[in-house]
Amino acid sequence: MKIALAQINYHIGNFEENSRKIINSIRKGKLENVDLVVFSELAVSGYPPRDFLEFRDFVERCQDAVEKIADECHGIAAIVGSPSFNPEYKGKDLFNSAYFLADGKVQSVHHKALLPNYDIFDEYRYFEPNHEFTCVNYHGKKIALNICEDLWNLGNHPLYTINPMDELMKENPDFIINIAASPFHASQREERAEVLLQNVEKYRLPLFYVNHVGAQTELLFDGGSLVIDPAGRIHDELNYFEEDFRIFDLEEVQHPLSGEKRKNEENKIERIHDALVMGIRNYFYKLGFKKAILGLSGGIDSAVTMVLAARALGPENVYAVLMPSGFSSEHSVQDAEALAKNLESPYDIIPIEKNYRSFLDALQPYFKNRSFNIAEENIQARARGVILMALSNKFGYILLNTSNKSEAAVGYGTLYGDMNGGLSVLGDVYKTEVFELARYINKEQEIIPENTILKPPSAELRPDQKDSDSLPDYDVLDQILYQYIEMRKGPREIIAMGFEKEIVDKTLKLVNVNEYKRHQTPPILRVSKKAFGMGRRMPIVARYLS
């Protein structure tokens, strides 16, 4: 049996394009005498469709697309993910399903049993879990067909009370197919491979695994579909961060002649770089936009954001606006200008001093002679925000937000100012990682001016300002934030790790009291296990550690 894995970049709710890509892959398979083409979880709708699933029309369009795809399956079979209606009165209205298509029609439908309801996942909000398990019979083989999380209930602390593969093994299947939508984070590749290898080790069956690729707003899917032989060796691994289509001979996978085939492992920062570039590109493409705008300050965050955007969209499509104030250093302007020239991107210099002074003049009678403080600092940031949004509106650009995760965590940013944007590129990247990204970008030539990387970080909103005036050194801050946000450690646990109590208490308080700011930020491209946004749901009006 020849099996093809089709790793595709889907677009949520774009039934015509999704169906076209699926049908093109089926036709390609026919030309190569493939017996079965496998597509990923909720391929027809795109993943995650979220509350679109509450519209009957949306699900009916998915059903129509499945029927259209089934019409192509003559002399070839396909497995396609789609929501399906639950005919029972009791329970949720829908299943998350895998359709087995052959002879021009739907032959069988197999439902997902384990519905993740943690972090970014909320599938139990929409779907009824499966309780009946049957294999697919095709060309004399029994296929243990399951969906993503169905293979993840292993280890010492299983999250669910059943294991779908244990049930399917009662029919003595010949191999496993798992269709998935497994979002990217920097260490997901190894974790995913380890779970799949554990399944092969337990069941001693070959495994064909198909993942999504591409970005769906903040969620990034890295692809990396896998084929594993029954001895637990990786037979092949599809490309990362791009569409791919590969054909495998089941006999060769079941009885391999060679050992493990693994691609060279990229480092963490390279993965984050590639994921962010893909995330920007897909966000613009799927929304129908081509051009980005950002404020280029001469600092490292805006510099890294601009390079990533230039690589995603083309440098000619990234417009930088330099907006110096009376507190901006001369070298910051020079560094920003040098970067724009290095990239050959368009840029303009629009000083904000007159705007800033106009606001101060208007507010002077109402400030009651109080001394300079954060109010005047924020006026500068908001003046810049007004300029950027005006240009965005006038020319149809999407404004890229340049704040990093460290700043977002402790509220070191101005609402309606430097927190503006249609997309947050670095909102899940700690400041120390931003420096690593800058070094990675410059690994072959100096694109980001060296001075941008070396100079102490500063918002330049008051004389001689440095981030370290208000925050611990980023080397310390980021470690504390990581333990609290990603690892969910409490203050006593973090202090026990050797961090100063005063710094820990201050940092965690800053994180919690600034939750209201993060509720108003643009979508953040997710590259960690725990990103701000849909995967981290915290109350605003709370007293814990605040």
**Beta carbons of 417 and 378 less than 8 angstroms apart:** yes
Does 41 qualify as catalytic in the annotation? yes
- Grouping H, G, I as helix, E, B as strand and the rest as coil, residue 417 is coil
- List, in order, residues 6 or more apart from 178 with CB less than 8 Å away: 146, 147, 148, 150, 151, 196, 207, 208, 209, 210
Q: Known catalytic residue: 72?
A: no
Is 407 an active-site residue? no
Please tell me which residue in 112, 405, 431, 517 is annotated as part of the active site: 112
Task: Measure the CA dihedral 315/318/323/327, to 10°.
Answer: -60
Please provide the size of the chain in residues. Answer: 546
What is the C-alpha separation between 325 and 508, in angstroms, rounded? 32
Instruction: Tell me which residue of 430, 434, 436, 400 sits closest to 531, measured CA to CA.
Output: 430
The DSSP 8-state label assigned to residue 264 in this structure reads P
- Rounded to a whole number of angstroms, the CA Rg of the chain reads 26
Supply the DSSP symbol for 545.
T
CB 44 within 8 A of CB 14: no
User: Quick check: helix, strand or coil at residue 197?
Assistant: helix
386's tokens: 């007004």
Among candidate residues 62, 135, 148, 286, the one labeled active-site is 148
Runs of H (alpha helix) within 442-520: 450-454, 474-485, 491-496, 501-513, 515-518
Cα dist. 207→37, 180, 352, 375, 437 in Å?
14, 13, 60, 59, 35
Q: Per-residue b/e over 108-145, b at no fewer than 16 CB within 10 Å?
A: bebbbbbbbeebbbbbeebbbbbeebebbebeebbbbb
Asked whether the beta carbons of 308 and 276 are under 8 A apart, the reply is yes
Query: How many Cβ atoms are within 10 Å of 312's Cβ, its own excluded?
Result: 21
Handedness of CA 263, 267, 270, 274 (dihedral sign): positive
**Among residues 21, 41, 286, 517, which one is catalytic?**
41
- How far is the C-alpha of 437 from the C-alpha of 269, rounded, in Å? 6
3 state DSSP class of 64: helix
Please report, for residues 150, 225, 245, the alpha-carbon distance to residue 282 in angstroms, rounded to integers and kept in the order given. Answer: 28, 20, 20
**What is the set of active-site residues?**
41, 112, 148
